[in-house]
Structure 1
Amino acid sequence: MSAPSSAPVTGSLSDRLTDAVLRGLIWLLLRLPLRLRLWLMGRLVARVLSPLVGYRARAEANLTHVWPDMPTVDRRRIADAVADNAGRTMIENYDVLGLRDRMAGARVSGPGLPEIEKARAEGRPVLFVTGHYGNFEAPRAALVARGYQIGGLYRPMSNPFFNAHYAQNMHALSGPVFEQGRRGTMGLIKHIRDGGMGVLLFDIYDSAGVPIPFMGQPAPTLTSAAEIAVKTGALLVPFFGIRQPDGVSFEAVFEAPVPHGDPVEMMTEATRRLEARITADPAQWFWIHRRWKPARQRRRAAARMDP
C-alpha cells in the first residue's frame, strides 16, 4: 500500500489515448523554464480548458451560491484566477522534486511550527489538514525539504493509465502514500499511530459527511481526520500553501493545532480556518469543485423527511 502497484494496468483504448496525450503535454511543459511553464499552464487552463469543460461556469455558480450579491464581473475575474491557479498547481505537482527544492528556501511561518518540531523530537504523530487552496502540496514539500517524512492519502484518477504514473508521482516526494479507500485509510492510521506524520484534504463533498457550515452554506464534511487524530493522539494541524503575487513562490503557514474534542467540533474549527483563508483571497481556493451540491442536499433532506 505504501508503494505504487506493479500490477499490469488495463483499460480502454480511449483511456490509453487520453493518457498518451496528457503524458506528452506534461513532458513538454516540464522541459520549459519554470516561470514560462507556470504562465503557459495557467493560461491554458483559464482561457481554454476552463470555459470548454465547464469549470468557469461551475466556479461562478459556486460563487453565486456563497455570495449572491457579488457583481458578475467580480465572479468572472475570480473564476479565471482560480483556473489559472489550478493549472499552475497541476504542473507544479507533476514536478514534486522541483517543488521540494523551491520550497527549501520558501518562507515557513505560523504558531504551529514549534508544536510540530516538538512533536517530531518526541516521536508524537502529527496529522496535517488542509483544503484545495493555493498549492496544497507546497507545505508538505517545505517540510520534506527540511528533513521530514510526510505521508498521506490520494484520490485515484478514473483513467487507470494516467492514475499509474499519477500515483508514482505522489510517492516521489515522500511516503508512505496510500490510495483513498478503506485499506488506504487503515494504512494511514497505522502510519500515524506509529508516530508518523501525514496529510488529509477535507474540503471535498462526501455524502457520508456531516453537514458543517462552509462559507455560510451547509457542506457535507468527513470527520475522519479528527477521529484519527483523537484515536492516535496526533496533533491536528491545519496548514496552507499560499501562492504569492508573483504566481511562482509560496509561503507555507502552519496554524496552531486544533484542540482535541468532539470530532464534529474539531472539523468545524478546521473549516473556519480554511474559510478565513478563502475570505482573505478567494481566488486561491478551487471553486471549480462541487463542494456543496445544493440540489443533491435538498433531495437527500426531502427523502429523509418522507414517511
Structure 2
Amino acid sequence: MAEDTADSKISPPPRDEHEEKRPGKLRAIQYWFEWALLVAFWRILTLLPWQTALAVGAGAGEIAYRLGIRRKVVLANLAVAFPDWTNDQRRRVARQSYRNAGRTLAEYVLLPSLRPDQLEQLVEQVEGLGYTDLVEAGRKPVVVLTGHIGNWELMGAYFARMGYSLKALAKPMHNPRIESALLQTRRSLGLDVLYTGEGLKPAVRHLRQGGIVVFLADQDARKAGIPIPFFGKPASTALGP
C-alpha cells in the first residue's frame, strides 16, 4: 500500500452522523496514529510469504485480544448467544475469533498480489447455491445479501476477477485516512463501494446497468432500521433490499 493512499484524489465518503465527537486536533492525531500503524503492519505483511503473513496476522489478533480491544463487548455478546457456556469457553472462542480476524486482515492485504488461479484456490466451489446460478445465468442485475462472515472481501474479489461488476453498500469508517486506503485497495481488486449516506439511487442505477449490489446487513442500523428480536434482545436491523 503506497504511503500516499490517505492523501489520494478519491472523494471522501459521506461522514457518519454518529461519529464520536472529539476535539478536532485530538481526533486528527488519533486518526493519523491508527493509519500509521496500519501502514506499517500492511508493509510488513506484503514482504512475507503467504503462510507466514497469515501467522503474523493471527499473532496481531492475539495481541489485540490480550490488550482488551473491545474484548468486553465480544464476551458480552457471547454470553447472550451462549448463556450455558462457562466463562472459560467464552474466552477461548473470543480469543480464537480475534486470531481469525487477524488472519482475515492478512489475507485481505495480500489479495491484490494473487494471480487469478491462486485466488480461485482459496474459494470452495459449492454446487446448488445461489452464486452458482449467478455464474451460469450470465450478466443480469443481482442483489447479494450476506454478512461480515469469514473473509467477505475475498468473495467480492473472486467475483470481480470473474468479470462481474460489484458494488457493496457500506457505512464509512470513522477514520477517513483508513477508509481512503481501504477504498483504493478494493478498487484495485475490481470492487467499489456505495456509501449509505448517498441514498439508494446509485445502487438502483448500478443494478439497471446489469451490476451486482452487495448488502452486508448484519450491523447496527441505528435510527434507519427497525427493531427485530435477536437472541431475545431488540436489534436495529436494516430494512434490506
TM-score (norm 2): 0.79
Query: Any residues of structure 2 matched to 1:229-268 within 5 Å, and which?
Result: none
Partner of 1:18: 34
- Contact 2:145–2:216 under 8 Å retained in 1: yes
In 1: Cα distance, 2:154 partner to 2:193 partner: 16
The code of the aligned residue for 2:53 comes to R
In 1: Cα distance, 2:105 partner to 2:125 partner: 22
Partner of 2:66: 51
Partner of 1:189: 204
In 2: Cα distance, 1:138 partner to 1:82 partner: 18
Gaps of 5+ in 2: 1-7, 13-23
Which of these residues, 124, 129, 144, is aligned with residue 107 of structure 1?
124
The code of the aligned residue for 2:172 comes to P
In 1: Cα distance, 2:234 partner to 2:213 partner: 27
Partner of 2:148: 132
- Contact 1:149–1:174 under 8 Å retained in 2: yes
The code of the aligned residue for 1:72 comes to N
In 1: Cα distance, 2:104 partner to 2:236 partner: 25
The code of the aligned residue for 1:116 comes to L
Task: Give the CA deviation at 1:13.
Answer: 3.8
Task: Give the CA deviation at 1:179.
Answer: 2.8
Identity %: 30
In 2: Cα distance, 1:181 partner to 1:171 partner: 19
In 2: Cα distance, 1:114 partner to 1:89 partner: 24
Partner of 1:33: 49
Greater shift, 185-194 or 98-107, is seen at 98-107
The reply on whether 1:175 has 2:219 as its aligned counterpart is no
Task: Give the CA deviation at 1:220.
Answer: 1.6
Greater shift, 146-155 or 203-212, is seen at 146-155
Q: Count the aligned residue pairs.
A: 218
In 2: Cα distance, 1:97 partner to 1:13 partner: 29
Q: CA distance change for structure 1 residues 71 and 78 in 2, over 3 Å: closer, same or farther?
A: same
In 1: Cα distance, 2:34 partner to 2:236 partner: 32
Task: Give the CA deviation at 1:215.
Answer: 4.3
- Contact 1:210–1:220 under 8 Å retained in 2: yes
- Contact 1:151–1:174 under 8 Å retained in 2: no
Q: CA distance change for structure 1 residues 180 and 169 in 2, over 3 Å: closer, same or farther?
A: farther
Task: Give the CA deviation at 1:197.
Answer: 0.8
In 2: Cα distance, 1:85 partner to 1:18 partner: 21
- Contact 1:45–1:86 under 8 Å retained in 2: yes
Secondary structure of the equivalent of 1:41?
Answer: helix
In 2: Cα distance, 1:70 partner to 1:59 partner: 14
- Contact 2:161–2:190 under 8 Å retained in 1: no
In 2: Cα distance, 1:100 partner to 1:82 partner: 28
- Contact 2:10–2:180 under 8 Å retained in 1: no
TM-score (norm 1): 0.63
In 2: Cα distance, 1:187 partner to 1:5 partner: 20
- Contact 1:119–1:126 under 8 Å retained in 2: no
Partner of 2:160: 144
